[in-house]
Amino acid sequence: MELTALQIIWFVLIAVLWIGYLTLEGFGFGVGMLLKILPRNEKERRLALNTIGPHWDGNEVFLLTAGGATFAAFPEWYATMFSGMYMALVAILLFLIVRIVAIEWRGKINSHGWRTTWDWLHTGVAWLVTLVWGVAFGNLVQGTQIRIGHYEQYGGGQFIEADRANIDAALAAGDQHFLTGGFVSLFTPFTIVAGLVFLALFLTHGALWLAIKTKGEFQERAIELAKKLSIGSTGLTAVWGIWGQLAYSDNGFGWIPLLLAAALLIGSTLMAQQAKDLPAFLMSFGGLALAVTWVFTTFWPNAMKSTVSDAYHLTLAQASATAPTQAVMLIAAVIFVPIVFGYMGWSYKQFAARIGTENISDEPAGLHPDKIRQFETA
Protein backbone atom coordinates (compact mmCIF):
# COMPACT_ATOMS: atom_id res chain seq x y z
CA MET A 1 0.00 0.00 0.00
CA GLU A 2 1.51 3.30 -1.14
CA LEU A 3 1.89 6.13 1.34
CA THR A 4 -0.07 9.32 0.67
CA ALA A 5 1.33 12.82 0.94
CA LEU A 6 -0.75 13.43 4.08
CA GLN A 7 0.64 10.33 5.77
CA ILE A 8 4.21 11.39 5.00
CA ILE A 9 3.55 14.93 6.24
CA TRP A 10 2.11 13.69 9.53
CA PHE A 11 4.98 11.26 10.08
CA VAL A 12 7.41 14.16 9.61
CA LEU A 13 5.36 16.43 11.91
CA ILE A 14 5.30 13.80 14.65
CA ALA A 15 9.07 13.39 14.32
CA VAL A 16 9.50 17.18 14.58
CA LEU A 17 7.38 17.29 17.73
CA TRP A 18 9.50 14.57 19.34
CA ILE A 19 12.66 16.40 18.31
CA GLY A 20 11.30 19.55 19.96
CA TYR A 21 10.42 17.72 23.15
CA LEU A 22 13.67 15.79 23.57
CA THR A 23 15.98 18.67 22.68
CA LEU A 24 14.20 21.17 24.93
CA GLU A 25 13.22 18.97 27.84
CA GLY A 26 16.54 17.17 27.44
CA PHE A 27 18.36 19.99 29.23
CA GLY A 28 15.49 20.23 31.72
CA PHE A 29 15.90 16.58 32.68
CA GLY A 30 19.66 17.12 32.71
CA VAL A 31 19.32 19.95 35.21
CA GLY A 32 17.09 17.73 37.35
CA MET A 33 19.64 14.90 37.28
CA LEU A 34 22.39 17.33 38.33
CA LEU A 35 20.33 19.05 41.03
CA LYS A 36 21.95 17.09 43.88
CA ILE A 37 25.35 16.86 42.17
CA LEU A 38 26.45 20.26 40.86
CA PRO A 39 24.86 22.84 43.25
CA ARG A 40 26.58 23.03 46.65
CA ASN A 41 23.97 24.94 48.63
CA GLU A 42 20.35 26.08 48.62
CA LYS A 43 21.02 29.28 46.64
CA GLU A 44 22.77 27.32 43.89
CA ARG A 45 19.92 24.80 43.73
CA ARG A 46 17.44 27.66 43.38
CA LEU A 47 19.71 29.14 40.72
CA ALA A 48 19.70 25.88 38.75
CA LEU A 49 15.92 25.56 38.98
CA ASN A 50 15.43 29.19 37.96
CA THR A 51 17.19 28.51 34.66
CA ILE A 52 14.44 26.08 33.64
CA GLY A 53 11.60 27.71 35.57
CA PRO A 54 10.24 29.84 32.69
CA HIS A 55 10.46 27.02 30.15
CA TRP A 56 9.83 23.51 31.45
CA ASP A 57 6.02 23.63 31.35
CA GLY A 58 6.02 25.09 27.83
CA ASN A 59 8.37 22.35 26.68
CA GLU A 60 5.84 19.75 27.83
CA VAL A 61 3.49 21.03 25.12
CA PHE A 62 5.59 19.14 22.58
CA LEU A 63 5.00 15.85 24.41
CA LEU A 64 1.26 16.39 24.67
CA THR A 65 1.01 17.41 21.02
CA ALA A 66 3.16 14.49 19.84
CA GLY A 67 0.95 12.03 21.72
CA GLY A 68 -2.25 13.65 20.47
CA ALA A 69 -1.02 13.81 16.89
CA THR A 70 -0.05 10.13 16.95
CA PHE A 71 -3.46 9.17 18.37
CA ALA A 72 -5.35 11.17 15.73
CA ALA A 73 -3.15 10.70 12.65
CA PHE A 74 -2.04 7.09 13.21
CA PRO A 75 -4.47 5.55 15.72
CA GLU A 76 -3.26 1.97 15.27
CA TRP A 77 0.33 3.06 15.94
CA TYR A 78 -0.88 4.56 19.23
CA ALA A 79 -2.97 1.49 20.06
CA THR A 80 -0.19 -0.99 19.26
CA MET A 81 2.30 0.86 21.46
CA PHE A 82 -0.15 0.85 24.35
CA SER A 83 -0.85 -2.86 23.89
CA GLY A 84 2.67 -3.68 25.09
CA MET A 85 4.21 -0.48 26.46
CA TYR A 86 1.31 0.38 28.73
CA MET A 87 3.28 -0.08 31.97
CA ALA A 88 6.23 1.91 30.60
CA LEU A 89 3.99 4.78 29.49
CA VAL A 90 2.15 4.82 32.82
CA ALA A 91 5.52 4.89 34.59
CA ILE A 92 6.60 7.88 32.48
CA LEU A 93 3.33 9.67 33.28
CA LEU A 94 3.77 9.10 37.02
CA PHE A 95 7.40 10.23 36.90
CA LEU A 96 6.43 13.41 35.07
CA ILE A 97 3.68 14.14 37.62
CA VAL A 98 6.17 13.79 40.48
CA ARG A 99 8.61 16.06 38.63
CA ILE A 100 5.95 18.74 38.14
CA VAL A 101 4.94 18.61 41.80
CA ALA A 102 8.58 18.72 42.92
CA ILE A 103 9.27 21.85 40.87
CA GLU A 104 6.08 23.62 41.91
CA TRP A 105 5.95 22.65 45.60
CA ARG A 106 9.57 22.80 46.79
CA GLY A 107 9.34 26.53 47.49
CA LYS A 108 5.91 26.53 49.12
CA ILE A 109 7.10 25.74 52.67
CA ASN A 110 10.19 27.21 54.34
CA SER A 111 11.62 23.95 55.60
CA HIS A 112 14.98 22.36 54.81
CA GLY A 113 13.49 18.88 55.07
CA TRP A 114 10.60 19.80 52.76
CA ARG A 115 12.91 21.19 50.07
CA THR A 116 15.37 18.32 50.38
CA THR A 117 12.63 15.72 49.97
CA TRP A 118 11.32 17.32 46.78
CA ASP A 119 14.82 17.82 45.41
CA TRP A 120 15.64 14.13 45.84
CA LEU A 121 12.33 13.15 44.23
CA HIS A 122 12.99 15.55 41.36
CA THR A 123 16.48 14.14 40.83
CA GLY A 124 15.30 10.54 41.07
CA VAL A 125 12.47 10.84 38.57
CA ALA A 126 14.67 12.84 36.17
CA TRP A 127 17.07 9.88 36.04
CA LEU A 128 14.27 7.33 35.78
CA VAL A 129 12.16 9.05 33.12
CA THR A 130 15.23 9.68 30.96
CA LEU A 131 16.20 6.01 31.21
CA VAL A 132 12.67 4.90 30.25
CA TRP A 133 12.55 7.31 27.30
CA GLY A 134 15.83 5.86 26.08
CA VAL A 135 14.57 2.29 26.36
CA ALA A 136 11.36 3.25 24.53
CA PHE A 137 13.19 4.85 21.62
CA GLY A 138 15.62 1.95 21.55
CA ASN A 139 12.65 -0.32 20.95
CA LEU A 140 11.56 1.81 18.01
CA VAL A 141 14.96 1.23 16.42
CA GLN A 142 15.27 -2.45 17.32
CA GLY A 143 11.63 -3.42 16.89
CA THR A 144 9.33 -5.21 19.30
CA GLN A 145 7.55 -8.56 19.53
CA ILE A 146 4.56 -7.54 17.40
CA ARG A 147 2.20 -10.19 16.06
CA ILE A 148 -1.02 -9.99 14.07
CA GLY A 149 -4.03 -11.84 15.40
CA HIS A 150 -6.87 -11.56 17.87
CA TYR A 151 -7.79 -12.57 21.40
CA GLU A 152 -10.54 -15.10 21.93
CA GLN A 153 -13.57 -13.68 23.63
CA TYR A 154 -13.90 -16.87 25.64
CA GLY A 155 -11.43 -19.48 26.81
CA GLY A 156 -9.29 -17.15 28.91
CA GLY A 157 -8.64 -14.61 26.18
CA GLN A 158 -6.05 -16.73 24.40
CA PHE A 159 -4.19 -14.98 21.58
CA ILE A 160 -4.79 -16.52 18.15
CA GLU A 161 -1.99 -15.66 15.75
CA ALA A 162 -2.77 -14.95 12.10
CA ASP A 163 -1.42 -17.03 9.24
CA ARG A 164 1.71 -15.21 8.04
CA ALA A 165 0.97 -16.29 4.48
CA ASN A 166 -2.43 -14.56 4.51
CA ILE A 167 -1.83 -11.35 6.43
CA ASP A 168 -4.04 -9.19 4.21
CA ALA A 169 -6.95 -11.57 4.65
CA ALA A 170 -6.42 -11.68 8.41
CA LEU A 171 -6.41 -7.88 8.67
CA ALA A 172 -9.52 -7.68 6.49
CA ALA A 173 -11.21 -10.15 8.83
CA GLY A 174 -10.55 -7.92 11.83
CA ASP A 175 -7.20 -9.14 13.15
CA GLN A 176 -4.92 -6.44 14.54
CA HIS A 177 -1.32 -5.79 15.53
CA PHE A 178 -0.49 -6.57 19.15
CA LEU A 179 2.74 -6.15 21.08
CA THR A 180 2.72 -9.56 22.73
CA GLY A 181 6.11 -9.74 24.39
CA GLY A 182 5.07 -7.96 27.57
CA PHE A 183 6.90 -5.36 29.63
CA VAL A 184 10.04 -7.44 30.24
CA SER A 185 10.58 -7.97 26.49
CA LEU A 186 11.26 -4.24 26.11
CA PHE A 187 14.59 -4.64 27.92
CA THR A 188 17.37 -6.03 25.75
CA PRO A 189 21.11 -5.21 25.64
CA PHE A 190 20.48 -2.74 22.81
CA THR A 191 17.58 -0.92 24.49
CA ILE A 192 19.36 -0.78 27.85
CA VAL A 193 22.34 0.86 26.13
CA ALA A 194 19.82 3.25 24.52
CA GLY A 195 18.69 4.22 28.01
CA LEU A 196 22.30 4.89 29.02
CA VAL A 197 22.80 6.96 25.86
CA PHE A 198 19.83 9.17 26.74
CA LEU A 199 21.15 9.58 30.29
CA ALA A 200 24.59 10.60 29.02
CA LEU A 201 23.24 13.00 26.38
CA PHE A 202 20.76 14.67 28.74
CA LEU A 203 23.38 15.05 31.48
CA THR A 204 25.72 16.78 29.05
CA HIS A 205 22.90 18.87 27.61
CA GLY A 206 21.86 19.93 31.12
CA ALA A 207 25.40 20.86 32.15
CA LEU A 208 25.84 22.96 29.00
CA TRP A 209 22.48 24.64 29.59
CA LEU A 210 23.57 25.63 33.10
CA ALA A 211 26.85 26.88 31.64
CA ILE A 212 25.10 29.23 29.19
CA LYS A 213 22.46 30.40 31.68
CA THR A 214 24.59 31.15 34.74
CA LYS A 215 27.65 33.19 35.60
CA GLY A 216 30.41 33.26 38.15
CA GLU A 217 31.88 30.30 39.96
CA PHE A 218 28.80 28.14 39.38
CA GLN A 219 29.09 28.63 35.63
CA GLU A 220 32.75 27.62 35.74
CA ARG A 221 31.90 24.39 37.52
CA ALA A 222 29.12 23.68 35.03
CA ILE A 223 31.39 23.98 32.01
CA GLU A 224 34.10 21.91 33.73
CA LEU A 225 31.55 19.15 34.30
CA ALA A 226 30.34 19.44 30.71
CA LYS A 227 33.90 18.92 29.47
CA LYS A 228 34.02 15.51 31.12
CA LEU A 229 30.44 14.47 30.34
CA SER A 230 30.63 15.41 26.66
CA ILE A 231 33.50 13.00 25.96
CA GLY A 232 31.64 10.04 27.44
CA SER A 233 28.25 10.90 25.93
CA THR A 234 29.67 11.40 22.43
CA GLY A 235 31.57 8.11 22.50
CA LEU A 236 28.65 6.10 23.89
CA THR A 237 26.22 7.62 21.37
CA ALA A 238 28.57 6.79 18.49
CA VAL A 239 28.79 3.14 19.53
CA TRP A 240 25.02 2.83 19.94
CA GLY A 241 24.24 4.64 16.69
CA ILE A 242 26.59 2.50 14.59
CA TRP A 243 25.24 -0.63 16.30
CA GLY A 244 21.66 0.39 15.54
CA GLN A 245 22.32 1.39 11.93
CA LEU A 246 24.20 -1.81 11.09
CA ALA A 247 22.01 -4.25 13.00
CA TYR A 248 18.50 -2.83 12.88
CA SER A 249 18.09 -0.25 10.10
CA ASP A 250 17.10 -1.24 6.57
CA ASN A 251 17.51 2.31 5.28
CA GLY A 252 20.90 3.41 4.02
CA PHE A 253 19.87 7.08 4.09
CA GLY A 254 19.87 6.79 7.89
CA TRP A 255 23.65 7.25 7.74
CA ILE A 256 23.10 10.90 6.78
CA PRO A 257 21.51 12.16 10.03
CA LEU A 258 23.65 9.73 12.03
CA LEU A 259 26.94 11.06 10.66
CA LEU A 260 25.74 14.66 10.94
CA ALA A 261 24.75 14.01 14.56
CA ALA A 262 28.20 12.55 15.20
CA ALA A 263 29.89 15.59 13.65
CA LEU A 264 27.87 18.01 15.79
CA LEU A 265 28.40 16.05 19.01
CA ILE A 266 32.14 15.89 18.34
CA GLY A 267 32.08 19.63 17.63
CA SER A 268 30.19 20.21 20.88
CA THR A 269 32.81 18.21 22.77
CA LEU A 270 35.64 20.24 21.23
CA MET A 271 33.88 23.53 22.01
CA ALA A 272 33.29 22.41 25.59
CA GLN A 273 36.99 21.61 26.03
CA GLN A 274 37.71 25.23 25.04
CA ALA A 275 35.04 26.50 27.48
CA LYS A 276 33.01 27.95 24.60
CA ASP A 277 29.69 27.21 26.25
CA LEU A 278 27.20 28.68 23.77
CA PRO A 279 28.63 27.01 20.63
CA ALA A 280 28.94 23.77 22.61
CA PHE A 281 25.29 23.95 23.68
CA LEU A 282 24.01 24.78 20.19
CA MET A 283 25.97 21.89 18.70
CA SER A 284 24.69 19.58 21.43
CA PHE A 285 21.16 20.74 20.60
CA GLY A 286 21.68 20.05 16.89
CA GLY A 287 23.36 16.71 17.53
CA LEU A 288 20.51 15.55 19.73
CA ALA A 289 17.95 16.70 17.14
CA LEU A 290 19.70 14.74 14.38
CA ALA A 291 20.05 11.68 16.61
CA VAL A 292 16.26 11.67 17.09
CA THR A 293 15.86 12.19 13.33
CA TRP A 294 18.03 9.09 12.80
CA VAL A 295 15.77 7.05 15.10
CA PHE A 296 12.77 7.83 12.88
CA THR A 297 14.69 6.88 9.72
CA THR A 298 15.46 3.42 11.11
CA PHE A 299 11.85 2.22 11.02
CA TRP A 300 10.55 4.13 8.00
CA PRO A 301 8.13 3.41 6.26
CA ASN A 302 6.81 1.51 9.26
CA ALA A 303 5.21 2.87 12.37
CA MET A 304 6.61 -0.05 14.38
CA LYS A 305 8.81 -2.97 13.40
CA SER A 306 8.23 -6.57 14.45
CA THR A 307 11.15 -8.71 15.61
CA VAL A 308 8.99 -11.81 15.09
CA SER A 309 8.48 -11.52 11.33
CA ASP A 310 8.72 -8.83 8.66
CA ALA A 311 5.15 -9.77 7.74
CA TYR A 312 4.05 -8.39 11.12
CA HIS A 313 5.52 -4.89 10.67
CA LEU A 314 2.94 -2.19 11.32
CA THR A 315 3.26 0.11 8.33
CA LEU A 316 2.30 3.76 8.38
CA ALA A 317 -0.38 3.06 5.77
CA GLN A 318 -1.92 0.37 7.99
CA ALA A 319 -1.75 2.59 11.07
CA SER A 320 -3.16 5.67 9.36
CA ALA A 321 -6.39 7.51 10.04
CA THR A 322 -8.58 8.50 7.11
CA ALA A 323 -7.44 11.18 4.69
CA PRO A 324 -10.22 13.66 5.71
CA THR A 325 -9.16 13.33 9.35
CA GLN A 326 -5.53 14.05 8.54
CA ALA A 327 -6.51 16.93 6.24
CA VAL A 328 -8.58 18.67 8.93
CA MET A 329 -5.77 18.14 11.45
CA LEU A 330 -3.25 19.59 9.04
CA ILE A 331 -5.28 22.80 8.74
CA ALA A 332 -5.23 23.12 12.54
CA ALA A 333 -1.51 22.36 12.64
CA VAL A 334 -0.71 24.99 10.02
CA ILE A 335 -2.54 27.59 12.14
CA PHE A 336 -1.45 26.68 15.67
CA VAL A 337 2.03 25.14 15.40
CA PRO A 338 3.64 28.41 14.22
CA ILE A 339 1.93 30.17 17.15
CA VAL A 340 3.45 27.68 19.58
CA PHE A 341 6.91 28.05 18.04
CA GLY A 342 6.55 31.83 18.04
CA TYR A 343 5.57 31.96 21.70
CA MET A 344 8.40 29.66 22.73
CA GLY A 345 10.92 31.68 20.75
CA TRP A 346 9.68 34.84 22.47
CA SER A 347 9.88 33.13 25.87
CA TYR A 348 13.49 32.04 25.41
CA LYS A 349 14.42 35.50 24.17
CA GLN A 350 12.80 37.20 27.17
CA PHE A 351 14.74 35.04 29.61
CA ALA A 352 18.02 34.96 27.71
CA ALA A 353 20.12 36.78 30.33
CA ARG A 354 22.59 34.91 32.50
CA ILE A 355 21.88 34.81 36.23
CA GLY A 356 24.09 34.20 39.24
CA THR A 357 23.68 33.50 42.93
CA GLU A 358 23.63 37.26 43.52
CA ASN A 359 20.28 37.31 41.73
CA ILE A 360 18.84 34.83 44.23
CA SER A 361 17.28 36.38 47.32
CA ASP A 362 18.87 35.63 50.68
CA GLU A 363 15.40 35.36 52.15
CA PRO A 364 14.14 31.75 52.10
CA ALA A 365 10.98 31.22 50.09
CA GLY A 366 7.82 29.61 51.36
CA LEU A 367 5.43 29.61 54.27
CA HIS A 368 6.82 29.06 57.75
CA PRO A 369 5.94 25.51 58.89
CA ASP A 370 4.17 26.85 61.99
CA LYS A 371 1.76 28.82 59.81
CA ILE A 372 0.72 26.00 57.48
CA ARG A 373 -2.60 25.39 59.22
CA GLN A 374 -3.23 28.99 60.20
CA PHE A 375 -4.13 30.00 56.63
CA GLU A 376 -1.63 32.84 56.80
CA THR A 377 0.47 34.16 53.96
CA ALA A 378 4.26 34.13 53.99
pLDDT tens column, 40-65: 888 888 889 889 888 887 788 888 88
Band of the pLDDT at 378, cuts 50, 70, 90? very low
The Cα–Cα gap between 132 and 55 comes to 22
H/E run at residue 50: helix 42-52
In the predicted model, is pLDDT for residue 105 greater than 90?
no
3-state secondary structure 205-260: HHHHHHHHHECCHHHHHHHHHHHHHHHHHHHHHHHHHHHHHHHHCCCHHHHHHHHH
In the predicted model, is pLDDT for residue 312 greater than 90?
no
The Cα–Cα gap between 211 and 208 comes to 5
pLDDT tens column, 118-172: 999 999 999 999 999 999 899 999 988 888 887 776 655 777 777 777 777 777 7
pLDDT tens column, 273-307: 999 999 999 999 999 999 999 999 999 999 889 88
Cβ of 178: how many Cβ atoms within 10 Å?
Answer: 21
Count each helix (H run) and each strand (E run) in the chain, helices first: 12, 5
The Cα–Cα gap between 203 and 211 comes to 12
What percentage of the chain exceeds 70 in pLDDT?
95
pLDDT tens column, 11-45: 999 999 999 999 999 999 999 999 999 998 888 88
Band of the pLDDT at 375, cuts 50, 70, 90? low
Name the pTM for this structure: 0.89
* Residue 1: per-residue pLDDT: 64
The Cα–Cα gap between 214 and 217 comes to 9
Domains and CATH numbers, the chain: 8-143+185-354 (1.20.1630), 146-180 (no CATH)
pLDDT tens column, 185-233: 889 999 999 999 999 999 999 999 999 999 889 999 999 999 999 999 9
What is the rounded average pLDDT for all residues in the chain? 87
